Structure 1
Amino acid sequence: MLQKKNKKKKWNYQIAQKIALKYNIFLTLKHWYIVSFIRNFYKKYQNIPTLKMIIISISKKYKISLNTQTLFVLFPKKPLQIACQISGLSNIHICS
């Protein structure tokens, strides 16, 4: 009897785009800045950043206007949860 191998796909840009499309999100440069920041932050600290950390860091690094309202436009309803899912961190518990 053959056993199915657990084929867990590694995160990549195509997977991120597919996840985003489930939320009717078409990834822009601002989305990628946020996704990249979340992935790098998690890799370094084994934790996810807060919305405030994302806003401050992205605004300073890329010199763009970013605030809570913008995050809700980019990632509707649950910006941190959706951004984490797109970032490949879907199994992370996020307090709402």
Structure 2
Amino acid sequence: MSAILHLISHPDAAIDDPHGNLYSLNAWSEEIALQTAAEMDLWMYPAHWEVVTFLRAYYRDYGIARNARELLNLLCEKFAPCGGRRYLYQLFPGGPVNQASRIAGLPVPASSTDASSGYRH
């Protein structure tokens, strides 16, 4: 059975929308994070998990960031001792906000990378 037919006949089986965002933040697990990272060709090391954990804690405490720049600035500040922006882009070459948010199972903030067109807004 094709993937689309499976989703039509088993709508409860879908855990994410067509854009890759989880329908329910409670559905997130480390296993799902590893699967998402693998789809992005990323290996998850402790440094990656530290960023993901920070994002999940931020979301829990403050909700979704107003925009990607705000969240990137917070990440750069938090990880400044490790190298800041350069360090974050080494961990997440597709963009630390976009990739780390998706791996963390969180909504990607506005003004993040648009994967469908290959550029940033």
The TM-score with structure 2 as length reference comes to: 0.63
1:46 aligns with 2:67: no
Q: Distance in 2 between matches of 1:50 and 1:34?
A: 12
How many Å separate the matches in 2 of 1:21 and 1:67? Answer: 24
Map 1:18-37 → 2, pairs under 5 A: 18-37=35-54
Instruction: Name which of 103, 107, 110 aligns with 1:94.
Output: 110
Q: Does residue 57 of the first structure (1) align with residue 73 of the second (2)?
A: no
Aligned residues: 89
What is the RMSD of the two structures over their aligned residues, measured on CA atoms?
Answer: 2.0
Q: What residue is the counterpart of 1:79 in the other structure? A: 96
Higher relative contact order (CA 8 A, sep 6+): 1
Aligned equivalents of 1:80 and 1:55: distance in 2?
A: 11
Asked if 1:6 corresponds to 2:12, the answer is: yes
**1:18 Cα offset (Å):** 0.6
**4+ aligned runs moved over 4 Å, structure 1:** none
Conservation of the 8 A alpha-carbon contact between 1:58 and 1:66: yes
Query: How many percent identity over aligned positions?
Result: 25
Structure 1 unpaired stretches of 5+: none
After TM superposition, the score normalised by the length of structure 1 is 0.77
Whole-angstrom CA distance in 2 between matches of 1:4 and 1:14: 21
Query: What SS does the corresponding residue of 2:100 show, helix, strand or coil?
Result: helix
More moved, 40-49 vs 27-36: 40-49
Q: Match of 1:6, SS?
A: helix
User: Following the alignment from structure 2 to structure 1, what is the Cα–Cα distance between the partners of residues 57 and 30?
Assistant: 15
Q: Residues of 1 paired with 2:71 and 2:88: CA distance?
A: 12
